[in-house]
């Protein structure tokens, strides 16, 4: 991890006390089963974030002026996945108690469970992902990245999936048995009628987990399991905008970015999506702004 914070802000816009947003970098990849490299994702997103315009041209706001604090990267060397989740949970829970908006940067998808477990009260998890991640166990572990939404469902009782185009029979049965709302990528690639339906299905408070492999590999080749047939950048931000307008977004994570040398647009895209969410939350969030 370099010495930069998210957006490379001066100290006056990035101190913990003054900041409305807390970014939690987690360079963890322990259970990855295919392409590797997500352990470098958080650092790459932070490096890329310093190159964005901080004025959002669409909303006419500059979210960085509300303060964005980046905590020291959660140390992950030689720690098991449960310890990492627990550590992330602690940081996120404190941020929420202090009235701040937490953004977790992975790392593999399992780190999102730290963010989710740091939430309070009743909420939905909206998982934007190519994969259902609803297996009970994978590779002998209940905390494999292929099981994260199963664990999230056990924790909060309401998970909505969007962008899915890969799952197994066990997951299909679980979706049917538990009546989980799943929006398949094949129904999302023509037009955006699906967006209002996704938002309709959510509770008032929403934690958004964004696995970058939801994007089509042509937009996002830098990920461990690039599934063909994904959504576009504009699909993702249009969905985030509608969620920000009609619900209260209580937490956010971006996971599974596995940087590829000289493909800087991938980490830049991930950084931009984080910042778009902050702009939408600020501009459309009404009384839920911060």
Q: Which residues bind Mn ion (CB under 5 A)?
A: 129-131, 211, 213
CA distances for 19 relative to 68, 212, 276, angstroms: 5, 26, 17
Give the shortest CB-22-to-Mn ion separation in angstroms. Answer: 25
Q: Taking a C-beta distance cutoff of 8 angstroms, is the pair 103, 22 a contact?
A: yes
Cis peptide before 107 (omega within 30 of 0): yes
| Chain position whose Cβ is nearest to Mn ion | 131
Judged by CB, which is closer to Mn ion: 194, or 210?
210
Give the shortest CB-288-to-Mn ion separation in angstroms. Answer: 28
Give the shortest CB-120-to-Mn ion separation in angstroms. Answer: 26
Count, in order, helices (H) and strands (E) of the chain.
Answer: 8, 8
Give the shortest CB-50-to-Mn ion separation in angstroms. Answer: 27
Judged by CB, which is closer to Mn ion: 210, or 283?
210
**126: exposed, middle or buried (C-beta count within 10 Å: 0-12, 13-18, 19+)?**
buried
Helical pair 233-246 and 264-284, crossing angle rounded to 10 deg: 20
Judged by CB, which is closer to Mn ion: 129, or 205?
129
Q: Taking a C-beta distance cutoff of 8 angstroms, is the pair 206, 247 a contact?
A: yes
Give the shortest CB-14-to-Mn ion separation in angstroms. Answer: 30
Judged by CB, which is closer to Mn ion: 132, or 240?
132
> What is the residue whose two structure tokens read 């939430």?
119
Sheet holding 248-255, edge to edge: 68-70, 21-25, 101-105, 248-255, 205-211, 124-128, 159-164, 181-184
Q: Taking a C-beta distance cutoff of 8 angstroms, is the pair 101, 290 a contact?
A: yes
Judged by CB, which is closer to Mn ion: 213, or 282?
213
Give the shortest CB-275-to-Mn ion separation in angstroms. Answer: 22
Judged by CB, which is closer to Mn ion: 130, or 161?
130
Q: Which of 198, 174, 173 is nearest to 185 (CA)?
A: 198
Judged by CB, which is closer to Mn ion: 93, or 187?
187
Give the shortest CB-256-to-Mn ion separation in angstroms. Answer: 6
Helical pair 264-284 and 41-49, crossing angle rounded to 10 deg: 70
Structural Rg of the chain based on CA atoms: 17
């Amino acid at each position: 991890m370099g010495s930069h914070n998210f957006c490379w802000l001066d100290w006056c816009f990035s101190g913990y006390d003054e900041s409305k947003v807390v970014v939690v970098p987690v360079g963890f990849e322990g259970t990855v089963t295919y392409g590797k490299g997500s352990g470098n994702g958080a650092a790459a997103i932070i490096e890329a974030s310093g190159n964005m315009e901080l004025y959002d041209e669409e909303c006419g706001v500059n979210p960085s002026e509300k303060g964005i604090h980046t905590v020291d990267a959660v140390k992950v060397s030689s720690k098991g996945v449960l310890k990492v989740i627990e550590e992330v949970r602690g940081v996120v829970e404190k941020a929420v108690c202090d009235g701040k908006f937490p953004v977790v940067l992975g790392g593999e998808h399992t780190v999102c469970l730290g963010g989710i477990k740091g939430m309070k009260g009743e909420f939905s998890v909206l998982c934007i992902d190519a994969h259902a991640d609803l297996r009970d166990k994978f590779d002998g572990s209940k905390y494999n990245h292929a099981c994260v939404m199963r664990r999230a469902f056990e924790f909060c009782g309401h998970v909505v999936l969007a962008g899915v185009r890969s799952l197994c029979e066990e997951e299909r049965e679980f979706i049917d048995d538990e009546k989980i709302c799943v929006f398949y990528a094949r129904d999302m690639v023509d037009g955006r009628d699906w967006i209002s339906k996704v938002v309709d299905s959510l509770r008032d408070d929403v934690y958004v987990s964004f696995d970058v492999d939801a994007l089509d590999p042509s937009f996002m080749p830098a990920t461990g399991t690039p599934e063909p047939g994904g959504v576009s950048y504009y699909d993702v931000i249009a969905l985030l905008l509608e969620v920000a307008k009609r619900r209260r977004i209580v937490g956010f994570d971006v996971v599974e970015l596995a940087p590829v040398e000289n493909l800087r647009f991938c980490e830049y895209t991930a950084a931009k999506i984080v910042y778009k969410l902050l702009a939408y939350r600020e501009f459309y969030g009404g009384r839920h702004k911060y």
